[in-house]
Amino acid sequence: MFLWHYYLALPLLITIQIYKAQGCDEFTDLGLSHAIIGTSLKIRLLLYTRDNVTCGTLMSHTNLHAHPQFNLSRPTTFIIHGYRPTGSPPMWLQNITEMVLAREDVNIIVVDWNYGAANVNYFKAVENTHKAADNLTAFIKKMQEHGSSLSSIHMIGVSLGAHISGFVGANLNGSIGRITALDPAGPQFTGTSKEDRLDPTNAQFVDVLHTDMDALGFREPLGHIDFYANGGADQPGCPRTILSGTKYFKCDHQRSVFLYLDSVNQTCTHKAFPCSSYKEFLDGKCLNCDSFGSAGCPVFGWL
């Protein structure tokens, strides 16, 4: 992509064009040293569209006219990561941006709050969730001023990012179109009031996927519809002992993202069976979808 075109007329009527290539803006990559020292909150917004699928553009929070590829007549999807204890970028970011843009012509804004999420002290990262939400709320209000509809906004939040999405929605009186919460964080949110966590009133539609409710995730329903993959805990293929190292702590929690990617990429369909308990499902008592008529049982993911 080229930013500037300079034209120089020579006596021989030859036109010379000089191009200045635009660099790509990347997600903040912090080392473990940053997480140990602790980081202060800073929000960076990286824009991806079908014109720049793999090349992020760092957005101004106030001057939206500076980004001509940011077309507010299109829907906008925000992707919000969670806690980053080592400061590294989420491994799934490029996959989700590319897959979503392959499915739909939208603006994707990756919310990079690694400065604020990167901290070995989890409680400090939790403290930053409301502040991050206030920052995003101001940006979305600026979008409104330029003609964007709140109904066309979809927020996809992972872990702490799910609650940030909820706080943004609450700030906007539940008017945003959709929040998809991927294994919302449980620690420091379980048992709190709806003002301090994700809640169904935060958007017109809130769908939630639980994959690690017995450890890092949230156990209780938080949306209009809540999906509990494999009962919401102990995902197939994830290690069951601490001897497996860091994978033991994050595999179940991260599975929510990879299941969502499967749905976006149409790799497989995640059909869900409404049931009062996982035990009843395992006993074969919840396999009838007749009550849903021709629509069939609910399907999780990108719709």
List active site positions: 159, 183, 253
What is the distance between the alpha carbons of residues 46 and 226, in angstroms, rounded to a whole number? 29
Q: What residue type is assigned to position 16 of the chain?
A: I
Residue 217 contacts residue 210 (beta carbons within 8 Å):
yes
CA distances from 51 to 8, 77, 98, 303 (A): 28, 16, 11, 23
Long-range contacts, 30-37 (Cβ 8 Å, 24+): 30/84, 30/87, 30/88, 30/114, 30/115, 30/118, 31/87, 32/86, 32/87, 34/87, 34/118, 35/84, 35/85, 35/86, 35/87, 35/118, 35/119, 35/120, 36/120
Which of 257, 248, 261 has the alpha carbon at shortest distance from 209?
Answer: 257
Q: Which helix (H) or strand (E) holds 130?
A: helix 122-145
What is the distance between the alpha carbons of residues 32 and 38, in angstroms, rounded to a whole number? 10
- Measured from the Cβ of residue 36, the count of other Cβ atoms closer than 10 Å reads 14
Residue 182 contacts residue 156 (beta carbons within 8 Å):
yes
Question: What would the two tokens of residue 101 be?
Answer: 């843009």
Q: What residue type is assigned to position 8 of the chain?
A: L
